Amino acid sequence: MWTAWEFPDSAGRPLHQHFDGQIYAGSHDRALDALLEGRVGAAFVSSVRVDEYLRRGVISIDSLRVLWRSAPIHYDPFVFSSELCQQLKTRVRELMLERSPEMETFLRSRRAARIILVSHQAYQPLLQLMTPH
């Protein structure tokens, strides 16, 4: 659990001084479910998953308290195989960035406003979180 390294740094105390133990739930949804069922006292989860639980009415805005937030992390990257020809990559990129009825439908299905280009550098905060201390 990479948040186990960043959370104590920001809180100023080791993780075990905040919680009795740690488990790996297997997914953000399972961690939220464990929290809602009272099997755990806290869970590190994606805000996107919490938003989805709120939207579906599984939780209310008053049912959870945010103890900590990581730096923003880009959501659901689309990546190309390095073996694809540049011409195909360019065309796919153009289609994904172009406003069209099909793209609008796709964005609505993902509850997204747009797709933006990012570089590997944009994921540096995530890479730092995943590097063991």
Residue 78 in domain: no
Report the distance separating Cα 104 and Cα 123, nearest Å. Answer: 26
Residue 32 in domain: yes
Residue 67 in domain: no
Asked if 45 and 31 count as a contact pair (C-beta separation under 8 A), the reply is yes
Asked if 25 and 44 count as a contact pair (C-beta separation under 8 A), the reply is no
pLDDT at 16: 65
Question: Roughly how many angstroms between the first and final C-alpha of the chain, as a whole number?
Answer: 12
Report the distance separating Cα 94 and Cα 91, nearest Å. Answer: 5
Range of the domain at 104: 86-130
pLDDT at 2: 44
Residue 65 in domain: no
Tally the domains of the chain. Answer: 2
What is the pTM for the complete model shown? 0.59
Would you call 36 helix, strand, or coil by DSSP? helix
| 52 and 96 share one domain | no
pLDDT at 66: 84
Give pLDDT tens digits along the chain (133 positions): 445 555 656 666 666 666 777 778 888 899 999 999 999 988 888 888 898 899 999 999 888 888 777 777 777 778 888 899 999 999 999 999 999 999 999 999 887 888 888 888 887 776 765 665 5
